[in-house]
Amino acid sequence: MEIKWLGHACFAITHKGYTVVIDPYDSDYTAGYPKLRVKADKLLVSHEHYGHNYRQGVVLSGRPESECPFAISSFEVWHDNMRGITRGQSLVHILEADGIKLVHMGDVGTQLLAGEARTIQNADALMITAGSCTGLPSQEVWRLCEEVFPRVIIPMHYRFGEHGARRLEHVEELIHYFNAPGFAQYYDTDTITITGEEEPQVAVLKYLGPSAWGALAAPEEKTAKKSLLARLLKK
């Protein structure tokens, strides 16, 4: 099962030739990232904020739901620590196939209830924000991870270089709470393959941008050209 980080909180998850894209970002509102335009068989959105709901950036194949190899479920969490008063709610998405469980936490803003934690416990991969003032700060993200014991933690939604808003934390601020030498693995690629046999780790994927999207990249929309007569009449 392949997980490719497309930037911010957006991932393409591919299994048996079927691709699910989660939380496409709008580059006009997501600092430093280029325009997103990719192909997928299914699209999932955690919540209706610009960094997560850019549906125009995903060209769907039209394949029937019956061809999806994943069992997909979700549950709502608060986006902030004030029971949604300031930021509303966000969905946690769970994708399961062939004994492997992947979890995308969206913009979780509070610790989980006991039942919610059990639902995602022992995930093979957990995609989670590294920390921000709009959701859980990095220390609370660490606490959540310690509670649910994912095999592989994939940080997302963080600031690095010119990418990401200033209110987001850097990934290192999350990593230092684990206090385990070698626990953080820095990859030279934006992609990780999950088999369920990985060593426990924080997997920091490298953002490579559109040049690495390969077959996922979708062509730009064609704008119909106005005829010469139409242009002349407009004058």
CB atoms within 10 A of CB 217: 13
Domain ranges of the chain: 2-234
Residue-wise pLDDT tens digits, 32-68? 999 999 999 999 999 888 888 999 999 999 999 999 9
Mean pLDDT over each residue of the chain, to the nearest integer = 90
pLDDT at position 89: 80
Residue-wise pLDDT tens digits, 81-120? 666 556 668 999 999 999 999 999 999 888 888 999 999 9
Residues 6+ apart with CB under 8 A from 229: none
Assign domain 2-234 to a CATH class. alpha beta
Of the pLDDT bands very low, low, confident and very high (cuts 50, 70, 90), residue 78 is confident
Residues 6+ apart with CB under 8 A from 42: 18, 19, 20, 21, 60, 63, 65, 68
Residue-wise pLDDT tens digits, 186-231? 999 999 999 999 999 999 999 999 999 999 999 887 654 555 555 5
Asked whether the whole model's pTM tops 0.85, one would answer: yes
pLDDT at position 50: 85
| Assigned token pair, 222 | 């064609």
